[in-house]
Amino acid sequence: MNSPRLSIIPARAATDTSLKPRDLQVLCVLGRHTDDCGWCRRSQVKMANEMGCARSTVQAAIDRLIKAGYLERHIQETENGRDSAHMFRVILDPVHPDMGAIPGPENDLGAGEGDAFSSVKLPCRSVGTPAGISAPPADSGSAPMLTTPLNDPIERKREREGERASAGASGEAVPETATRKTWKARLRRVHAGWPTHADDSEVTAERAWFDLSEADRDAAAKAVPAYLAHMKEIGRKHCVAFSKYLSERRWERLPEQAASASAAPSTAKPFGKEWGAVRFADLMRSPYGRISGFTRLQAAMIEAGTLDRETELRRKQAAGGWPSVNTMHERAIRRRLGVPVQAALAGLAEGFTQVKVGGEVWQAWKRLHEERGWPWLGADRELPEWVYMPALPDGHADVRAAVAAALAIFEANYHQLNAEEAAQ
């Protein structure tokens, strides 16, 4: 390219609370290198250099943008089968999942004049959307008329409803200063622990959520653990979509005994997904346990150069810095006992996958723990054949780089969850 292009952020992305500032910066960088067909071929290393951050940060931002529907990725491979710089396309006009559910704009022109606009047909392709790889460049046709209802009375009612709080609520109840944004944050936390979360429509779930009164939202959220426990108890293998749970008010169908049962945290099985999420969440904290100092012999060996100070310090930190994690390891290996896990934290477990003990990926995770001074799970002979770890993202030829990127994604999701809880 010989001339710079405009860097355009989709309107939805500018106010999307699920995104981070880095995500918007990635969109801008992609826009600077987009060709006339709307595609950008750019390596993550070059993007990281432009943004002044780590490559793993760029990878995490790209994954979030793809998941949220703002970015499309086309993987490029060389003749020898190795990955090359991927091609990206910013999706400027995402398709609404149910166009019939969007109300039309109010007619300010009168009945006679408004009828004239009802017969106008919009172009088949959304003007402004980058073309596909094999498509020709976009033409110079004018963009369609803005038809977004800016003054929707239903939306105004929901906004006002979200700004009021339920008086006298307890537990996770939203305070009186709650806003619609706060209610949406709570929806994301509750929905994350739902079995069908990966396949659910976020738009449909949000619509069903805000169709409820504040008191009903609070009741529905608090009843989720009891409802899922009851479904498991009666042998149901499949769970309805979260939007159906809300719209059909299924929490009200619970038997009295199940509904009144304490919503205690579930127990995560040793070395499983949720167990791994609890373990890594504790490792996100700074060392909080008692770390022993060097003995006289160790100090003498360090002075003589026969013992590396930093290596020994990391070993001591792993032994005492995170006592809860060490206890988890011992209970899981010696007694096959799990740990309690909250529903919000269990949502992070969806990003975990099985890792073969003793394999290449396993060794990469072990080296990362050693470098960070984190306690390792134990000797391979004491562990099961498979243990759950954060899933590796695509686009990394080096296993160690992929492991570091997977940890960065988990860390970002964990801190985002903490920020949302602090906003309550």
pLDDT in tens, 114-124: 343 334 344 44
Q: Is residue 181 domain-shared with residue 281, that is, in the same domain? A: no
Q: Is residue 85 domain-shared with residue 160, that is, in the same domain? A: no
Q: Is residue 171 domain-shared with residue 83, that is, in the same domain? A: no
Domain that holds residue 17: 11-90
Q: Is residue 209 domain-shared with residue 281, that is, in the same domain? A: no
Q: Is residue 278 domain-shared with residue 379, that is, in the same domain? A: yes
Q: What's the pLDDT band for 424 if we cut at 50, 70, 90?
A: low
Based on the structure, what is the number of domains in the chain? 3
Q: What is the mean pLDDT of the chain?
A: 77
Residue 301 has pLDDT above 50, yes or no: yes
Residue 121 is encoded by which pair of tokens?
Answer: 């047909």
> Is the residue at 307 inside a domain?
no
pLDDT at 175: 44
Q: Is residue 271 domain-shared with residue 414, that is, in the same domain? A: yes
pLDDT in tens, 19-43: 888 888 888 888 888 887 778 888 8
Q: Is residue 382 domain-shared with residue 271, that is, in the same domain? A: yes
Which range, 118-132, 133-147, 300-314, has the best average confidence (pLDDT)? 300-314
pLDDT at 168: 35
Q: What's the pLDDT band for 77 if we cut at 50, 70, 90?
A: low
Q: Is residue 54 domain-shared with residue 85, that is, in the same domain? A: yes
> Is the residue at 407 inside a domain?
yes
Q: Is residue 205 domain-shared with residue 341, that is, in the same domain? A: no
